[in-house]
Structures are given as structure tokens and as C-alpha cells.
A and B are shown apart, each in its own frame.
Chain A
Amino acid sequence: MRISSPFPDVTRRRLVSRAEPALVVVAVILVWEVCTRTGILPGQDFPPATEIGAALLADLRGADLWNGIASSMSAWALGMALVTAVGVPVGMLLGASELSYRASYLTLEFVRTLPAIAALPLLLFIYGIGQQLTVVIVVLAALWPLLIQSMYGMRDVDPVAVATARVYGIGRARRFVLVDVPSCLPYIATGMRLSGTFALIFAIATSLIVGGQGLGAEMARAASIGDRPLLYARVLVTGLIGLAVTAALVGIERRALRWHVSQREQLQ
């Protein structure tokens, strides 16, 4: 039986591996619904899943949520463009020489752990509430992971590849394009993923604290009018946006890494 048709078994296993996680999600929603309806979780703080769903659908039909998303995501995109434009070249430059790497890496490792959001009050003096403030915070928070990864990428350029290029008489500029950039790309992709998630967190945090336009401000509004289902719905939307951004960045990273690994296998 198994020899004659191995496929049903395989498809079944694949089906189970898809179905079980889906069932877990359904179960969590059901348990939430039951616990909130029966009062195991106090109803005024924990609205039932169906009410959150209804609030979500109503919110999706309105303009507030979409305006908030548009505002936060455009700050995110603009911030990431600036982060990439500054972080990659500066990081690669710092990583290009042993001396600059040695001198800067510990400083950078400390700087990256500093909460950029602490600078918000000061920047509020300078820029006031608005898109500009959000972009500045996003850049301050998200610059470091990409810069540091780009630096590590330059440190990890294969010396044999560099020596080979030199033997073949390839000049510095072409070597940069043919050897340095390709070997940095996987690091840059990882840096983009780390920076991208940071940028999203701080784009939302800024509008959460100062108000104005943005997803954070929409959540703060839902909280301040005491509409619990709406608050849960907007937190859920924020989570889903986080998931989408992460998935996109992981996809980019995987593509960059796949190339890297295959390249290495060829070398071996």
C-alpha cells in the first residue's frame, strides 16, 4: 500500500502541518470568546472576539484608520530611505579599514542600545508635532542596525576573493562592485530587516506619545474615548502590519542569503 502510492501519505502530512497551526489560531479565538462571554475574563476590559471583529470591520470602512496607516507608513518609508542612503555607505566605509572598525565598533554597539525615543521631547522643541518629527525619530532609531551590519559585511569580505581580483589586475573601483558589494549584500539585507522593524516601532511610538496623525495616535484616541473593542481592533491591525512588514523584509533577506549560500557552495 505504502509502496504503491506514497503520495496520499505525503499530502496528508502536509495537510496536517498546515491544519494544526490554523486550528490553534481558531482555538485561541474560541477560548477568548467563551472566556469573555462567560465572564471568566471581565467583559469591560476584555471584549469578546466577535465585538472586536465588528469594531474592526466598522473601522476598516471609516477614514480614520486608513489615514493613520498612510501617515505612519509614509514616515516609515521615508525614514527607511534615509537610513539606507546614510547607513550603507557609512557602514561600509567604517568597515573598510581595520583601524576605523576597531575604533568605532564598541561605540556603535553602545549607541544602538540607546532608546532614540528618549530624544523625542527635545526634538519636539525643534520640529513640533508632524511628519518631520516622526521621520527624524525613525532615522535616529533605525540607522544603527543597518550601519553596523554594513560594517560587519565589509569585515567579512573573503580575502581570497580580494587577492584573486588583485591578481587579475582588477582595479579598486571594479573590485568594489564585483567583490565588496556582493559580499556585503546578505549583511545589508539582515540590517534592513532589523532596521525596518525598529523603524516601524518608532514611527508608531512617536504618534502614540505626541498625537497628531498616525497609527499610534489612532490607538491613543480609541483608548481615551474608552472604546475597548476599537482599541483591541487597532492593536490587532498594528500587529498585522508588523507581520506584513516583517514577512516582506524576511523575504528580501532570504533571497539575499540564498544567493550567498549557493555562491559559497560553488566555491567549495
Chain B
Amino acid sequence: MSSVGTRVLASLAVPVVLVALWWVVSSGSASPYFPPLPDIVEGFAETWTADRLRGDLVPSLVALAVGFVIAVLVGMLGGIVLGLSPRLRRDVRPLTEFLRATPVVALVPLGLVLLGPGTTMEIALIAFAGTWPILIAAVDGVRAADQVALDTARVYGLSPARRLVQVVVPGAMPQIMAGVRIAVAASVGTMVVANMLASGAGLGYVVIRAQQSFNILDTWSGLLMIGLVGCSVTGLVVTVERMVLGWHRRWRALDQRSA
């Protein structure tokens, strides 16, 4: 327990020191673009009133959540199907390679034209951006399934469906979660770009509007909020990862102890 505490402290030290440094160095800043951090924090509290939170933060978070859940479901299902079938994987490979390599922002103008500005467009783009990293990771995870575990399950007479649920999917989970983490970055980034280009509300819209009205303090407040959202989502994903992969880590820890 104490070792966990020390580790947390050690990893918190750098961010704390960096923020403290920023606070001290910027406090005398006269540069118009880099206002003192105390001013930014004050502006942050003024900018994000309950109204703004409801109007700009909540819609963004809802779109992000819905889009991300779709991405996880589609990515996992598609990845498992493609991972199980070598022939299907080979045949649709030109399509999956093309869609995965397409810079996802290229689809923002297309989404805008087809779906119009609004939540549907945002959700579709967030989902699309997040699907590919998860799908690719799931394919790799399924392909790398533990052959001994699979054979054991077969010998014990487990049906193919149960083998899939009890052996293949749990075995692919570490890779899938790694894909989910990459997908967070892709989804949040795409949301901000979509907001900046086309939305009448949302986190990206807040910063771009503040920029257009030359309000530097508001730009910083928006930036800070996007950073906080990004960190919270990553924190959430890391927590889920700990829960989902608890068996995996424990199992490995046990293995090391017995060795």
C-alpha cells in the first residue's frame, strides 16, 4: 500500500511542479498572449458559469460519450469478427487499410455536408474516429489468442460460442484496452475540430469564438477546460482498464511470485 502511495506521489510531483512553475513565472508576465496563471484561473471561474456549463460543456460530453460507446461497440464487434475470419480479413483489407489511414479530419467537411451541423454529425465523427484504433487492436488481440488455452477449452468440450466469450475475448482485452486509449485521443481531437468548424456550441466552439473576438483570457479558459476534459476521460479509461484487466495483472503478479 505504501509503495502504491509513493508511486502516486512520484508521478504527481512533476505536474504539480510544472503548474507551480507556470504560476510563478507567469505571475509577472506582461505578454498579451501569456497572461498570468492567477488571472487565467480567475477568468476560468468567470467564464464557466452554470449556463455555459449547460450550454457548451454538457452537449460536448454527451456527444463524446455516445460517440465513444458506439466506437467501442463497433470496433470490438468488427475486430472480433475480422480477427476470427482470415478470409474476410484479407478480402476487406483494402477498405479497412484505406479507412484507417484516412486522416479522420478529412471526413469533417464530408460529415458537415451530409449530416449538417449539429449533434448527429458530431456523434458520427467521434464514433468514426474512435472505431479504427479499437478495431485494429481487437483484430490483433483475437489473432494472438492463447492457443493452449483454446485447445484446453476445446478438449473440455466448450462450445465455440463459450470459447469465444470465455477464452478469446478476455485474452484480447489487454490489446483492446490499449486501442481504447488511443481512441480517446482521436475522439476528443475530432470533437474539438468538428466544434471549431461547424457547431454553434461546444468546447471547440468556445475557444474559436473567443479567438475571433480577440478575448485571450476566454481562449485560455476554454483551452483549460478542454485539457481538464481530456485528462478526466483518460483517467476514466485508465480506471476501467484497471478493473477490466484486474484478473490479468493479478494473474501476472501471482505468476511472478511463484516463479
Contact = CB atoms under 8 A, between A and B. Distances in A.
Are A and B co-members of a single complex? yes
Given A223-B112, A235-B110, A122 B193 contact: no
Interface in B111-158: 112-114
A64 B233 CA distance: 40
A17 B109 contact: no
A115 B109 contact: no
B11 A107 contact: yes
Contacts, number: 169
Contact of A115 (B92, B114, B185): B185
Contacts of B193: 117, 205, 208-209
Contact of A117 (B102, B103, B192, B222): B192
B103 A124 contact: no
Contact of A121 (B104, B109, B208): B208
A25 interface: yes
Contact of B223 (A105, A106, A122): A122
A156 interface: no
A24 B98 contact: no
A90 B110 CA distance: 39
Contacts of A219: 106, 109
**Main SS class of interface, B:** helix
Interface residues of A, number: 57
Contact of B94 (A24, A114, A202, A220): A24
Given A20-B91, A113-B233, A235-B106, A242 B188 contact: no
B226 interface: yes
Interface of A: 17, 20-25, 28, 45, 102-107, 109-110, 112-122, 124-126, 197, 200-202, 204-205, 208-209, 215-216, 219-220, 222-223, 228, 231-232, 235, 238-240, 242-243, 245-247
17 contacts: A20-B87, A20-B90, A23-B91, A102-B10, A110-B15, A110-B235, A115-B191, A115-B192, A120-B196, A121-B196, A205-B103, A223-B109, A231-B113, A232-B110, A235-B106, A235-B109, A239-B101
